[in-house]
């Protein structure tokens, strides 16, 4: 299925890199390296040069911390989205927010995608996406409250829960008027899940792909990687790429990442092995 992200369309044989750009002073990975506006803008320029098709701009870290209200979240992202839109007209701009009011403001400023990491906590977000012709990412979080950590959450079948919740969210978006080709589903590794849950979701990601909805995976430097390998945040790239390979072989379409170049090469190689992508060149044994 051709994927339409507001003003941008992508054929189904094209995996996409979604580069993370944090407008926060306390993100778990970059520790506030792109908190300053110019630093964040420089990050956008870099990932565009590296080939990212999408940037995902976020104004609140996912983990518990300082309370950030609507006004402060908007102050962190709205004008920045407008600046990026002006400078990079061909770039897909996603905003990581669960709030409809913020979603409306960033779409007015030029955002193409609303990346709801909190599983529909604000039910009006789908209406905002529909009103602006924007795309929406429908995640599974097990019903946890935004910015809280999961605690002893249990599932009879975690993938069954992921499939039920993300498809129900996708159906709500469709009923609200979001175009079918603009709806993406995401298992949301670590969100509402322990490490065993995230590993199982990764192992069974083909079940999400088989639904026909485009699948986004956000694996980059997640805790399930760190706990599995017993490595800190700064040493999780290899584990991230291993999990990425599994998802790429299954056919996930969008990869939300910190490290664009490494993930692009990993996904391109796996998609070529799977027969979905031609090699950049193939002259060995021919010339």
Question: What's the chain's Rg over C-alpha atoms?
Answer: 18
Q: Token pair of 237, please?
A: 């790239």
Known catalytic residues?
Answer: 222, 256
Q: Token pair of 142, please?
A: 């097990």
First vs last Cα of the chain: how many Å apart?
A: 37
Q: Tell me which residue has tokens 């518990």.
A: 64
| Angle, CA of 28, 32 and 35, to the nearest 5° | 135
Q: What separation in angstroms does the CA of 3 have from each of 8, 185, 195, 225, 239? A: 8, 12, 30, 29, 28
Cα distance between residue 271 and residue 222, in whole Å: 23
Contact indicator for 240, 256 with CB cutoff of 8 Å: no
Cα distance between residue 185 and residue 137, in whole Å: 6
The dihedral region occupied by 192, where left means phi > 0, alpha psi between -120 and 50, and beta the remainder, is: left
Residues 6+ apart with CB under 8 A from 134: 6, 103, 107, 111, 112, 113, 114, 128, 178, 182
User: Long-range contact list for 175-180, CB < 8 A, 24+ apart?
Assistant: 176/126, 176/127, 176/129, 176/130, 177/127, 177/130, 177/131, 178/126, 178/129, 178/130, 178/134, 178/135, 178/136, 179/4, 179/133, 180/1
């Amino acid at each position: 299925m051709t994927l339409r992200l507001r003003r941008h369309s992508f054929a189904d044989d094209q995996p996409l890199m979604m580069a993370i750009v944090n407008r926060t002073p306390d993100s778990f990975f970059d520790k506030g390296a792109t908190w300053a506006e110019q630093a964040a803008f420089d990050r956008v320029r870099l990932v565009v040069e590296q080939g990212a098709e999408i940037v995902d701009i976020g104004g609140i870290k996912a983990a518990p911390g300082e309370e950030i209200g609507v006004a402060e979240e908007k102050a962190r992202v709205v004008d920045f989205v407008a600046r990026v839109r002006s400078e990079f007209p061909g770039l897909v701009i996603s905003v990581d927010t669960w709030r409809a009011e913020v979603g409306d403001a960033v779409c007015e400023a030029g955002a193409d995608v609303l990346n709801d990491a909190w599983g529909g906590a604000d039910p009006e977000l789908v209406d905002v996406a529909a009103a602006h012709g924007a795309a929406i990412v429908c995640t599974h979080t097990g019903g946890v409250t935004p910015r809280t950590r999961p605690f002893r959450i249990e599932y009879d079948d975690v993938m069954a829960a992921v499939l039920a919740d993300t498809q129900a969210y996708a159906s709500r978006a469709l009923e609200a008027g979001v175009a079918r080709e603009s709806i993406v589903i995401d298992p949301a590794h670590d969100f509402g899940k322990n490490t065993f849950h995230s590993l199982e979701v990764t192992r069974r990601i083909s079940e999400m792909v088989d639904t026909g909805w485009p699948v986004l995976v956000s694996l980059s430097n997640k805790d399930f990687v760190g706990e599995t390998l017993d490595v800190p945040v700064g040493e999780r790239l290899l584990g991230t790429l291993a999990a990425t390979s599994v998802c790429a072989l299954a056919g996930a379409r969008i990869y939300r990442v910190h490290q664009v170049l490494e993930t692009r090469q990993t996904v391109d190689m796996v998609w070529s092995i799977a027969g979905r992508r031609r090699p950049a060149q193939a002259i060995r044994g021919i010339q």
